[in-house]
Amino acid sequence: MTRLVATLVVSALGLGWAAAAVPHSLLLESTPTADSTVAAAPPTLSLRFNNRVEKPLSRLRLLNARGESLSLALPASPGPADRLTAALPSLAPGAYRVEWQVLSTDGHVVSGRFTFRIAP
């Protein structure tokens, strides 16, 4: 009986999520583009996701080729709900890695990483 109730609850939750159509977050595009080589760093690092992300519970990290973390601050101002942006410091030529972690609207924490290169 307990198992049946649990199954029903799980099914109801599953249906609820499906009906709400809230998949967890996927990175759609970014500036700089993943795996790209750019002549100069853009002023802003920008990531666009497939849906709204919980910004206060999301993080962006930027690491240089030596694996050193460069300080990045997510702006407190909202902007589009599906984007995470951070002002970039001036970056020397070289390879960089962006690591991101977001809390999806479905409650799942999703993370990923990509690299880009600056070569004037």
**Which residues in this chain contact Cu ion in the complex, by CB under 5 A?**
24, 106, 108
| Residue 35 Cβ vs Cu ion, minimum distance, rounded to whole Å | 25
Q: Distance between CA atoms of 69 and 91, rounded to whole angstroms?
A: 12
Q: Which is nearer to Cu ion, 51 or 64 (CB)?
A: 51
Residue nearest to Cu ion (CB): 24
Total number of residues shown for the chain: 120
Distance from C-alpha of 53 to C-alpha of 58, rounded to nearest angstrom? 8
Question: For residues 106 and 115, which CB has a smaller minimum distance to Cu ion in the complex?
Answer: 106
Least CB distance from residue 102 to Cu ion, whole Å?
Answer: 11
Which CB atom, from 54 or from 106, has the smaller least distance to Cu ion?
106
Question: 62-88 burial string, b = 16+ CB within 10 Å, else e?
Answer: bbeeeeeeeebebeeeeeeeebbbbeb
Min CB(108)–Cu ion separation in Å: 3
